[in-house]
Amino acid sequence: MEKSDYNQTNMGTPQGAEAKVFARENFCLCTISPLLANIALDQMETDLIEHLRSLKGWKTKIGTTTVGVDINKKTKKSYKLRKNLKIDLVRYADDFVILHEDKEVIEESRRFIGKWLEIRGLTLSEEKTKIVHSTEGFDFLGHHIRHYENRIKGTYRLKLLNGTPTEQRRAKATHVLRVEPTKEKIKLHYREISDTIWKLKAATPNEVIKTLQPKITGWANYYKTVHSSEAFSKLDHFLWKRLYQWACRRHPNKGKRWVADKYFCTVNGRKWTFAEIVGKGKDRKIVKYLKGYSKHKERTGSYARVGYDRSYYDGDTAYWAERLSKGYGNITPYKAKMLKRQDGICPVCKCRFGNEDLSEAHHIHPRHLGGEDTYTNLVLVHLHCHDKIHRENPGIRGKKVDHISKDLQGYWDNGMAPDYLRKEVFSPTSTDTVLSLGGGAGRIITPASDSKPPTDTSTVLRTGKDAGIITPASGNNKET
């Protein structure tokens, strides 16, 4: 539709393509295929289960659809789920998979869904639709899902059999489920990274890191919750080889050791980390380094599943805000870390973060006043709360802070302030303050203290209006 005029299309929207939508004078560009698929394939699972249960003698094969309540032993929280349902249909847009132990049920499901789609003008792709056993494995959304034979043997198996109930079940299981990135996705991603490095032949290390880091982080975050340790280790090795070739190409007349010292370093115990390094010897400093794939890995099974009856648009903001406070959601890892520390609460307005809320990282001790860009000096606040802080507390470059504002006092009370603020160590601001550099070196003397300024020939450094003036100690401030 363009300017209220409807134009007939000759073909449908291709899968994964971007559709252009015109609304009067406004132009919108969006990926509309997933939305159309969700509209067309809604109620597929419900209709399939009702059909299978209606067949004679199949109720015991399919199970009941009643929703029960399960209580997590660790968190003591309740979740709704279908306990006795023996068939699973997992769908994401137009990709779906049906799981059942009986092949006859799978074949009947395929036949029914084929007819169900014909009513809506759709058809199943014969090339992509397959019936396989779980031991053969299948690909779904870039993951390879497969049951492998349990290879736990020997003394380790005996140890598990004498352990907790979970360890005993693990030892007795005949097969183990493994979800890992597909080989095709690994190859495509490595090819993309390799091509990107090739295009950056003349770039600086800083530019290479800025270009590669978003690609690496995005791909690693997608696969970090599954069995991806082997894939991450392989990609880290390939990435190092490619970056080492890039570095050697820039300096063909230098030795390999010189190239390694210039572009690679050890960060947090990990050797051969690509970084931007300045200075030499004692002045050597790491400005920025590339975070590899393995640094993004999470413990398998640590991600909490979404409740059976939950939807992102169900209006239950309390449930989704609670998940957000645990670090689950479409947020960056560094914001998730701060949300966990703050229990999902903004320390300024004392309200929980919602899914649609805009957040901003705030430096408790301003950077232009010496604050560090570390987690101990950062707190996550709403965007409008961040604007409020800087509007009511405008920073003056170069001026020392002699007190804590009301907002910062709140962070301090909540234990979110850096260590040096907790110890109440602040810069002196009185014009009568002197720091003895002679016989009384290290003593800060103020009018409020019992000590008196040194009267000998020691040198003193004055602060305040006379900051930076080093003179012999004198009891009269006017003489300086």
Three-state SS annotation for 52-67: HHHCCCCHHHHECCCC
Kind plus residue range of the DSSP H or E element containing 181:
strand 175-181
Q: Which residue among 249, 269, 295 closes a domain?
A: 295
Contacts of 16 (CB under 8 A, 6+ apart): 31, 33
User: Is 353 part of any domain?
Assistant: yes
Q: What's the angle, vertex CA 41, arms to CA 39 and CA 44, rounded to 5? A: 135
Let me know whether 201 and 248 are in one domain: yes
User: Is 7 part of any domain?
Assistant: no
Go through 223-252 and write b for each residue having 16 or more CB atoms within 10 A of its CB, e for each that does not. bbebbbeebbeebbebbbebbbebbeebee
Let me know whether 187 and 234 are in one domain: yes
Domain region containing 389? 329-395+407-418
Residue 209: its pLDDT value, please?
94
Let me know whether 194 and 236 are in one domain: yes
User: Is 381 part of any domain?
Assistant: yes
Let me know whether 276 and 371 are in one domain: no
User: Is 263 part of any domain?
Assistant: yes
Q: What is the mean pLDDT of each run of 10 residues along the chain (480 residues)?
A: 62 44 39 80 90 91 83 70 86 90 93 92 88 92 93 91 90 91 95 94 92 92 89 94 94 92 89 89 87 81 68 70 69 76 82 80 77 80 85 55 46 44 40 41 44 46 46 46
Q: Are 409 and 416 in contact (CB under 8 A)?
A: no
Let me know whether 290 and 187 are in one domain: yes
Residue 225: its pLDDT value, please?
84
Q: Which residue among 295, 314, 346 closes a domain?
A: 295
Interval 368-379: pLDDT, tens = 677 777 877 888
Let me know whether 211 and 283 are in one domain: yes
Distance CA 283, CA 462 (A): 30
Let me know whether 194 and 287 are in one domain: yes
Residue 421: its pLDDT value, please?
40
Distance CA 282, CA 33 (A): 57
Share of residues in the chain with pLDDT > 90 (%): 32
Residue 26: its pLDDT value, please?
38
Let me know whether 190 and 273 are in one domain: yes
Using left for φ > 0, alpha for ψ between -120 and 50, and beta otherwise, residue 355 falls in alpha
Q: Which residue among 295, 313, 342 closes a domain?
A: 295
Q: Where are the beta strands (DSSP E) in 110-174?
A: 138-140, 143-149
User: Is 78 part of any domain?
Assistant: no
Using left for φ > 0, alpha for ψ between -120 and 50, and beta otherwise, residue 24 falls in left
Quote the number of domains for the chain: 2
Let me know whether 359 and 260 are in one domain: no
- Supply the pTM of this predicted model: 0.66
**Measuring CA to CA, how many Å separate 350 from each of 368, 376, 417?**
27, 20, 16
Please report, as a single letter, which amino acid is at residue 402: D
User: Is 246 part of any domain?
Assistant: yes
User: Is 355 part of any domain?
Assistant: yes
Q: Are 461 and 435 in contact (CB under 8 A)?
A: yes
Distance CA 295, CA 407 (A): 34
Counts for the chain of helices (H) and strands (E), in that order: 15, 18
Distance CA 226, CA 219 (A): 13
Kind plus residue range of the DSSP H or E element containing 239:
helix 229-250
Let me know whether 291 and 208 are in one domain: yes
Distance CA 130, CA 98 (A): 11
Let me know whether 287 and 355 are in one domain: no
The CATH number of the domain where 343 resides is what? 1.10.30
3-class secondary structure, 462: strand
Let me know whether 193 and 279 are in one domain: yes
User: Is 284 part of any domain?
Assistant: yes
